Copies of this chain bind each other. A is one copy, B any other.
C-alpha cells in the first residue's frame, strides 16, 4: 500500500514537473520540428515494411540523429512509448503527424508559372504527404496551361493572378507557394494576405513582410548553398 501510494505520488509529482517543463518549453525549437518531420518519414517507411515496435536507438539510427535527441524532441510534446519496450511505430507516426498538423489535407496554390512553379506543380512528394495543389496563378496564364497539363495526370488550370482572392475562398486555400521573380514577391504576398491565405512558402529570394497571424517560410536556395560552401571551406 505504502509503495503504491509512493508510486502514485511519484507519478503525480512527475506530471506536475512535466507540466512546468511543458510551459517552460512552450516555444519548441524549429530544429525539433524539422526532426519530427524526419521521424514521421522514417516511421512511415518502417510501417510500410511491417515493423511494429521501434526503440529510440533504432529510430535515431534510421533518421541519422542521436538517440538522446529523439527522446528530447518527443519530450516537448508529452510521453510516448513504453519504457523498456520502445515506441509502437503506427501510434508514434500518427502522434507526430497530429503534432505537426498533418492529420488533415492542406490545400495550396502556386503563384508564378515559370520553371520553378511548374516544378512545384508536378512535385509528387507533396501529394504523397497530403499537401494538395488546388490552384495555380500567373500574370500570363494562357501561355502556360499547355505545359502544365502535359506534366500532370490531373491538370491544374492556370488562372490569372487577379482571381486569387475569389478562388482562394472558393477552394479554401491555406498555403500559397510564391515562385515569382523576387521583385513581385511582396505584391503577391499582399494578395494572399488579402485573401486570408495564412501560410506562405516563399521561393523568391526576397524578404516578405506579413502581418501578425500570417506565417512565412523562405526556401532560399542560395542561403542553403552558402551553408554548404561554409562546410566545404571549413572541413
Taking Cβ atoms with an 8 Å cutoff, the residues of A that contact B are 30-31, 33-34, 36-38, 40, 64, 99-102, 106, 114-116, 118-120, 122-123, 125-126, 128-129, 131, 151, 174-175, 182, 198-201, 205, 207, 213, 215, 217, 219-235
Contacts A221-B126, A222-B125 given; does A198 touch B232 at CB 8 Å: yes
Report yes or no: B223 in contact with A199, Cβ–Cβ below 8 A: no
| CA A182 to CA B128, docked complex, whole Å | 13
CA distance A115 to B129 in the complex (A): 20
- Check if A118 sits within 8 Å of B120, measured CB to CB: no
The answer to whether A235 touches B213 (Cβ under 8 A) is yes
Contact check, A101 vs B233: say whether CB atoms are below 8 A apart. yes
Q: A199 contacts which of B64, B116, B232 (Cβ < 8 Å)?
A: B232
Bound state CA distance, A99 and B33, in angstroms? 28
| Closest 6 pairs between A and B when the two form their complex, measured CB to CB | A101-B233, A115-B119, A37-B226, A116-B119, A125-B205, A101-B229
- Could you write out 23 A-B pairs with CB less than 8 Å apart? A30-B227, A33-B230, A37-B222, A40-B226, A99-B230, A101-B232, A102-B229, A114-B122, A119-B119, A125-B182, A125-B221, A126-B221, A126-B222, A129-B226, A174-B232, A175-B229, A175-B232, A198-B232, A199-B228, A199-B231, A200-B228, A213-B235, A217-B225
Q: Are A64 and B33 in contact (CB-based, < 8 A)?
A: no
CB neighbours (8 Å) of A125 from chain B are 182, 205, 220-222
Complex: A79 Cα to B205 Cα, angstroms: 30
The smallest C-beta distance from A222 to any residue of chain B, in angstroms, reads 5
- Closest B-chain residue to A26, C-beta based? B234
- Chain B positions within 8 Å of A224 at CB level: 201, 217, 219
Partner of A120, one of B182, B219, B221: B221
Q: A37-B223, A115-B119, A223-B34 are in contact. Are A64 and B228 (CB under 8 A)?
A: no
Chain B residues within an 8 Å CB radius of A116? 115-116, 119, 123
Shortest Cβ gap from A67 to chain B (Å): 18
A201 to chain B: which residues have CB within 8 Å?
221, 224-225, 228
The CA of A33 and the CA of B30, in the complex, are separated in Å by 15
Per the bound structure, the CA–CA distance linking A129 and B223 in Å amounts to 10
**CA of A201 to CA of B201 in the docked complex: distance in angstroms?**
19
- Chain B residues whose CB sits within 8 angstroms of the CB of A115 once the complex forms: 115-116, 118-119, 122, 151
